[in-house]
Amino acid sequence: MRLETGLTIDLIGKRLEVLKEKGISPSLDQVDQTKFDAAAATAKALGLTIAWRPLPNSRDVDALFASIVGNGDEALYVVFDPLTIREQKRIADLATSNRIPAVYEIRDYVVSGGLISYTYDRSHNFERAAAFLDKIFKGANPAELPVEQPTKFELVINLKTVKALGLDISPTLLARADEVIE
């Protein structure tokens, strides 16, 4: 039995690779320096340029998009945090209306109208956590249980947003998608 972690930092590279397939350089709404540093290193390795565009509070979503558009950013990488999850629909709508392709850290944003997400399968993680807790409740010592990394991942694409942005998604990327929202 192993406990799973979010593996968020390691997935940054995969999300940027999805944008690279479209020849797009994203800006990043940064939550913490660790994520930004990982994204910057991966972006550089992929030949992309990444800029930090912070979202200090939800009232600044319009200002954030004005900055993105004003700086000529070609795409957006949206991190999962309390501000962005609360404003997910607004962010997705502004990204689409400003024709800014965006990749998100969890599928909820894509269900709300965002373009694409690549992440670990959260429902599987919850199942694994429940099994882990069951072991603890049955007397297992938590310190002796190994840590488990996610093993199931999902790529989610919103075709309505693809069309609204006027993008062409390659058949290869569509074939890799675990869910296509129409």
Sketch the domain layout of the chain as residue ranges.
Answer: 3-181
What pairing do the DSSP bridges indicate for beta strands 102-104 and 147-148? unpaired
CB atoms within 10 A of CB 20: 18
Residue 85 has pLDDT above 90, yes or no: no
pLDDT digits (tens, 9 = 90+) for 42-81: 888 888 888 877 776 667 889 889 989 999 988 888 888 7
Q: Band of the pLDDT at 116, cuts 50, 70, 90?
A: very high
Residue 11 has pLDDT above 90, yes or no: no
Three-class DSSP category at 75: strand
pLDDT at residue 132, as a whole number? 80
pLDDT digits (tens, 9 = 90+) for 163-179: 999 999 889 989 999 99
**Domain boundaries 3-181, corresponding CATH code:** 3.40.50.2300
For the chain, where are the E strands, in sequence order? 3-4, 26-29, 51-52, 75-78, 102-104, 116-120, 147-148, 153-158, 179-181
